[in-house]
Amino acid sequence: MRVLLQRVSGASVGLEGECVAEIERGLLAFVGVFPDDGETQADWLAEKTLGLRIFPDADKPMNRSVQDVGGEILVVSQFTLAGDTSKGKRPGFSTAAPPDQAERLYKYLIARLKAQGGRVQEGRFGAEMQVALVNDGPVTFLLEK
């Protein structure tokens, strides 16, 4: 699994002109799932997402987690993170998990984030969404497990 985390001062997801999810300060998490992924990867990514110290405090620019700062997490499925761009000019997606597996693990990841105290909003799995964000920093990390 891959989670692309962006520290944001605000983010939202729109679908057909309607806002379906919105957060203020926190993390925007784009999620890509591969065929060999399972709950073990999702568990690790949930814990890492909640505990990663990438928010500032008075002493250091990256010393607090999203939970430490009372931030929110907006989770968005993005199968293109599992795309293969190694050959040619058009990405291939045979490296991405089938939709049923990807949706199950996407929802499992969200459930794990919530179970560990995360304040979570989510996009709509498989939908063509419009994502708006203000990247704070900019700060972006790619988590892979």
**Catalytic residue positions, numbered:** 80
Of 94, 100, 2, the residue nearest 45 (C-alpha): 2
Cα distances (Å, whole numbers) of residue 16 to 11, 19, 75, 76:
17, 8, 18, 16
Measure CA 20 to chain center.
16
